[in-house]
Structure 1
Amino acid sequence: MVKPCSLVKPCHLVKPVSAGRLAGRYLSHQRGLPGLPVPPLQQTCQRYITALEPIVEADELKRTRSLLEEFQRAGGLGERLQRGLEKRAQGSENWLSDWWVQVAYLEYRMPVVVHSSPGLVLPRMDFTDQQGQIKFAAKLIAGVLDFKTMIDNETLPVEFLGGKPLCMNQYYEVLSSCRIPGLKRDSVVNHAKSPAPPKHITVVHNFQFFVLDVYHSDGSPLTADQLRVQLEKICRASAPAGARPLGILTTQHRDSWGKTYQLLMQDETNRASVSAIQRSIFTLCLDPARPQTSGDSYRSAAAVQMLHGGGSGGNSGNRWFDKTLQFIVGEDGTCGANYEHAPAEGPPIVALIDHVVEYTRKPEPERRHSASLPTPQKLHFNITAEVQRDIEEAERSMDTLAQDLDMRVMVFGHFGKNVPKSHKMSPDAFVQMALQLAYYRMYQHCCATYESASLRMFRRGRTDTIRSASSASAAFVKAFDGPRTQVCVRPAAPVPTPNTSRARPLCDDRSLCFPLVPSKTDCVMCFGPVVPNGYGVCYNPMDDHINFAVSSFNSCQDTDSARMARAVEAALLDMKTLLDQTPQAKL
């Protein structure tokens, strides 16, 4: 239980993927983690005002201060709400996490596609045909199962930071889980915790779904070679013969999908097939080859495939977007993942993918005889005329959304995190200030900015918000293009470091969402803007380059992803020039 705190010292928010790892069992440390404290009312209000200072006009700020004074008065609404939070904290493991999941995800009714679920683009793999696709996909499955063994045995190395363990709960929520649509609110079911945990994955090819058992009767996992044989069977059994793209229903507005889901589940065959998808460990999507492109154009097109599949004429129907984890393997070597955000934040997904990518690079183990393997089960659906109309409506809606999304992936190749580090600066802080500078140069004002940060130092911690737009950042960007004497450059103090997540912005004006998603793999995560007239920018700083994914909506005349990407590039180069011209401080 958590005691109310009279004073909270600001904690550094951490990026777990770079934390040290030590062997240890999940439950052995979980109970010892501290609960999330409730910040004092005065601190909460002060930080709210601080966040507003760089983005609202003086008269609005003055009015807000007056409202907060009334809110904080003795015996007022603020004190009553504060006592309610403190009481909730005393009776729960984490007073915030359940609310966060419900409000930020399960009650959020926009489609999970683009609006909520991130995509992740891996480096292009070295194959260009179905044989190579199947071989890589088989090793990918084996790599996930290898990671799953650590989860099942509770031997997944516990992440530590500063000698203190971080909450590992999210790692146990990723596999065998699925979002379930509802009429007003969705839910999440984790079948890994059931008495008979799933032993299969779902494979979707040419819009057709299959159950692939990935364990033998003795509990041992199939080898990569055995999985390859099974995937070949699936591809032979799923010729493109006009199968209806049932998976595109999962791209709908959640209320619409909830209604269609009820219709679909009235049929016994449909219930069994949908249940098999929902219970599966994860989904593997085998996509056809795409038109050939190269460079950033290829990466941008690949990001679209991971984020939403490209619309009804592409692969949006070759998905089940309610599954927590979908791996996507294209016949042309385009690979990545899409994950439904409710069960977990980015770090567990990235850690799993880093493990899988490393596993796929290992030499193939000795082959095992595969003659006795059963044929994978094809899932069947009975589609009524009403459900077919909903499929067609989902196709139209998905096409509209796909055409509206403006996605640009840029590899900034001039330098990477090595440059700010050489100047004793936080690479994340350096990039965040470049993003602020790029935006200010484009629009001549600052705006609400959301950068997510982990709360995993607390039991069942999810995420919190870093307001990167501050009075200090506003002063920096306004001074940058003026006389150089106005710009102070000095080594950064330790700063909060973020991971990926979603949230609504602080205000309704144009907003930015700028999460850092660090990974050992040279990949980039991508997502859509959180508001119609905003930007979503995700970045992964490597030693000598930085991967960026910039998104906006074409329907907003004021935003332009390509222009924003160019502005970010210019800002980074100009900031490096300034550093090169500034004597380094002696520490």
Structure 2
Amino acid sequence: MLVATSVDAREPFKIFPPKLDSRKSRWDSGMAEAHQAVAFQFTITPEGIDLQLSHEALRQVYLSGLRSWKKRIVRLKNNVITGVYPASPSSWLFVVIAILATMYTRSDPSMGLIAKIQEHLPASGSMSMQCQTVVSAVLFSTLLWLSLIFTMKLCLKQLLSYHRWMFEQHGNVSTTTKVWVMLVRIFSGRQPLLYSYQGSLPNLPVPAIKDTVKRYLESVRPLKSDSEFERMTNLAKEFEDSLGSRLQWYLKLKALWASNYVSDWWEEYIYLRGRGPIMVNSNYYGMDFLYVTPTPIQAARAGNTLHAVLMYRRRLNKEEIKPSRIPGTFIPLCAAQCERIFNTTRIPGEETDTVVHWQDSEYVAVYHRGRYFRLWLYQAGRMLSPREIEYQIQRILDDPSPPAPGEEKLGAFTAGDRIPWAKARKEFFSSGVNKRSLDCIEKAAFFVTLDDDEQGMMGDDPAANVDRYAKSLLHGKCYDRWFDKSFSVVIFKNGKNGLNAEHSWADAPIVSHMWEYALATDSFQLGYNEEGHCKGDVNPSLPQPQRLTWDIPKQCQEQVAQCLAVAQPLADDIDFHVFAFRDFGKGSIKKIKMSPDGFIQLALQLAFYRDRGVFCLTYEASMTRLFREGRTETVRSCSSESCAFIKAFENGEDLEVCRRLIRNASEKHQMLYRLAMTGAGIDRHLFCLYVVSKYLGIESPFLKEALSEPWRLSTSQTPFQQLELFDFVNHPDYITCGGGFGPVADDGYGVSYSLIGEKIISFHVSSKHSCPDTDSHKFGTQIRKALHDLLQLMTINQSDAAGSEQNHSSKTQNKKEL
């Protein structure tokens, strides 16, 4: 922006940069290259116009623009490739040549259509007969090619709608499935890009009302008394026979035109319309390597981490990331959530929030000691090297300037209730310097916190320090994270890192995929020199990171304090226990021919029963990304089969009886998981029926009660998706402990777990100090014991069976006496 200043007519008329406020050290420009120099300046004199150009500034503007155009061209090319997939653009030329070749053999493959096209050519009078024939043949070939592409996409979509293969036992594959596998391979094409399968993924089906009601009643049977279950059955029957059919009709109508009948409502009503804090209640976190910190230098770790994340974004923009698939298969998963990883922010509203996504920005917003900075990560169209980013980060760390009044705890707005933040944003951040600075944060690629604390497994009490590490990643000081950003990278003083992610725009596997790549690239590709600094040279001419400026009035500062007063007790109330279970892993579980996930879920059920003496409604997250724009579904892990096993096991029943019951429970869990993945779950269907009822203004006692039941045990597995990036054999300490989330119910537990390699299972257990019935450390002890007890049950030798059975019965008798 250039400012014209009026002066005496005898003096030269100049256009020059404005004088900056003393609190601003450089331009608030959209390009880093314009911070140091003005591209041009001209002076009007009696002799004419004196034009001065800054060639270096123009060069940098040119290079930056060139990078932008390259990105557009790559995006256009990828859109073409994805649009014609599973065919390739070059196949068009093959079809054209084939049609022309058959025509020269005096045969007509178009059955007269080429002649019809030739008759209606608009410029036929200006072309020779031969030219008209060729043009008509090319047009016919193009139409034929597009028809073949449409047919192939349709066939692939129908093939991907087949899910019976999931329910077949290993080693007992039907002929239908074998033929299906062959056809999918034929129609899947070769070398797909990230979004190649999006147009071929099937839509999520709407389950039948009777099936959903039946499965719901099965899921709550072990949790209700006979009288309660009879009352619920009557409510369900009344709903199925009357209101349910009407609501189902509207839902099927939506499914006809919507890409996914669940996802938009799920994002809006479960996430964006929530008016409480998203910190702890919605956001989740991911950890660094548990046992290793690649460098103790904070700026160096930030340099490699930020560069690695940008490398992932570059691969994402070029669609060079391979499409995600179901592990061990070639079945693709929806990649739609990947589109909003970067440059995305949740914007507060008084009634509902919105998720806004911008085009790629070339900077990140950085928080350190109460100050906010804009850090440019590109110069003259190229990405800064890790060493250059380290240099810039160190400049921020060395900056002695104090925070502006009200700036230090400004992030508390994003940690408190949403309505006060929405009102304050409209009142204090809709214009002027505050709007420019807020726009800088919200439009940044992502957010970065340079934390002054040291975290990780360290000191005299490493276990307790890991728990504090988890709490810090989840909520920090309640004002040093920007919880509205799609994700925030946290770099601690001792070089440990981690991230905090907002949940509405995507689910954990999407962020986990990016974070796995960043961790592996940081340590195994980029690396550090002997002093712990990033490799490479420093360019000292880089412009200084730009301090964001604020004008926060007293009234706004008071509202920040009120938001912090809401967020701080919520953060203080969280009780975390994080541990890596190293006694055995999925390798041992697979040897007893059980599903590792089913085994862990049964262990969690057993641990909860021992902890509380009752069973509870249990939430396990499953994905529905087999379908277009699919997100999650609930696996109700507490089943009649799992309860029957636990009661028998705790009552000292015969070992063979317990083994039979645990296998029944595991098989039931696998069936529930498969049903959830294939669109036949319970909870998303009930949720959407409830939304329709609200739109129609109709109250349903069945839906209201079914959806108000608390999830006192909320669980989720965070799977490793890129095992090829890690070497657990040669580098066994380079493992991440996964991530976690806060408890869903005030009197319940949140449990996140990861199967790491063949020998480690990590657990993140959360609860609330304010509930006298929950204790995360106590529950963690119960989980360890349950895992050992279940494995012992399934691996005990026959020769030891009698003695172990006697010991088992003795322990049970002692429990009864106590």
Tell me the TM-score normalised to structure 2 length.
Answer: 0.65
Match of 2:717? 516
**What letter is aligned with 2:397?**
C
Which of 316, 328, 332 pairs up with 2:494?
Answer: 332
Q: Which amino acid in 2 is paired with 1:420?
A: I
Contact 1:109 1:254 in 2 (8 A): yes
- Correspondence for 1:568: 783
1:374-420 CA distance string (max 9 Å, x none): 22111111111111111212222222112211111122221122211
| 1:535 paired to 2:780 | no
Contact 2:369 2:408 in 1 (8 A): no
Q: Which residue of 1 aligns with 2:73?
A: none
**Partner SS for 1:514:** strand
Alignment of 1:26-425 (within 5 A): 26-73=194-241, 76-124=242-290, 125-126=292-293, 132-161=297-326, 162-192=329-359, 197-218=360-381, 220-237=382-399, 244-290=408-454, 293=459, 294-309=461-476, 311=477, 316-361=478-523, 362-364=525-527, 367-425=536-594
Identity across aligned pairs (percent)?
31
Compared CA separation, residues 27 and 567, structure 1 to 2 (3 A): closer
Paired position in structure 1 for 2:633 = 464
Ranges in structure 1 where 5+ consecutive residues have no aligned partner: 13-21
SS state of the match for residue 207, structure 2? Answer: coil
Residue pair 2:581, 2:784 contacting (<8 A) in 1 also: yes
Q: Deviations over 1:108-166 (max 9, x none)?
A: 1221111000012222553785xx11101110011011111111112221122332211
What CA distance in whole angstroms lies between the structure 2 residues aligned with 1:146 and 1:23?
21
Alignment of 1:462-501 (within 5 A): 462-485=631-654, 486-487=657-658, 488=660, 489-490=662-663, 492-493=666-667, 494=670, 496=673
Deviation at 1:577, TM superposition (A): 1.2
Q: CA RMSD in A?
A: 2.6
What SS is found at the alignment partner of 1:126?
coil
Cα distance change of structure 1 residues 151 and 127 upon mapping to structure 2, 3 Å threshold: closer
Q: Aligned equivalents of 2:789 and 2:563: distance in 1?
A: 45
Report the Cα distance in structure 1 between the residues aligned to 2:560 and 2:165, rounded to whole angstroms. Answer: 49
Helix, strand or coil at the partner of 2:408: coil
Aligned-residue offset at 1:208: 1.3
Q: How far does residue 367 in structure 1 lie from its aligned partner after superposition?
A: 2.5
Task: Give yes or no for contact 2:416–2:566 (8 Å, CA) kept in 1.
Answer: yes
Deviates most, 518-527 or 181-190: 518-527
Residues 180-219 of structure 1, C-alpha deviations (whole Å, 9 max, x = no match): 0111210100113xxxx3111111111211111112222x
Pairwise CA distance, 1:277: 0.7
How far apart in 1 are the matches of 2:536 and 2:295?
24
> For 2:622 and 2:630, how far apart are their aligned partners in 1?
10
State the SS of the aligned residue for 1:383: coil
TM-score, normalised on structure 1?
Answer: 0.89
Q: Is the 8 A contact 2:260 2:628 kept in 1?
A: yes
Q: Which amino acid aligns with 1:41?
A: I
Q: Could you tell me whether the CA contact under 8 Å between 1:178 and 1:190 is conserved in 2?
A: yes
Paired residue secondary structure (1:188) = strand
Q: CA deviation at 1:538?
A: 0.8
- Over 3 Å counting, the alpha-carbon distance change for 1:53 and 1:191 in structure 2 is same
The 3-state SS of whatever aligns with 1:358 is helix
SS in 2 for 1:563: helix
Instruction: Give the corresponding residue for 2:609.
Output: 440
- What is the Cα deviation at residue 295 of structure 1? 2.3
Q: Which residue of 2 aligns with 1:15?
A: none
Query: Per the alignment, do residues 303 and 393 of structure 1 end up closer, same or farther by CA in structure 2, a change over 3 Å counting?
Result: same
Task: Point out which structure has higher relative CO (alpha carbons under 8 A, 6+ apart).
Answer: 1
Q: 1:324 to 1:241 in 2, by over 3 A?
A: closer
- Going from structure 1 to structure 2, the CA distance change for 1:302 and 1:347 (only over 3 Å counts) comes to same
Q: 1:342 aligns to what SS in structure 2? A: coil
The structural deviation recorded for 1:539 is 0.9
| Residue 576 of structure 1, CA deviation | 1.4
Q: Distance in 2 between matches of 1:53 and 1:68?
A: 13
**Alignment coverage as a number of residue pairs:** 556
In 2 relative to 1, CA 10–127 (structure 1 residues): closer, same or farther, beyond 3 Å?
closer
The one-letter amino acid of 2:319's match is E
Q: Give the partner amino acid of 1:544.
A: K
Distance 1:203 1:453, change over 3 A: same
- Which residue identity does 2:750 align to in structure 1? G
Q: Contact 1:24–1:158 at 8 Å: present in 2 too? A: yes
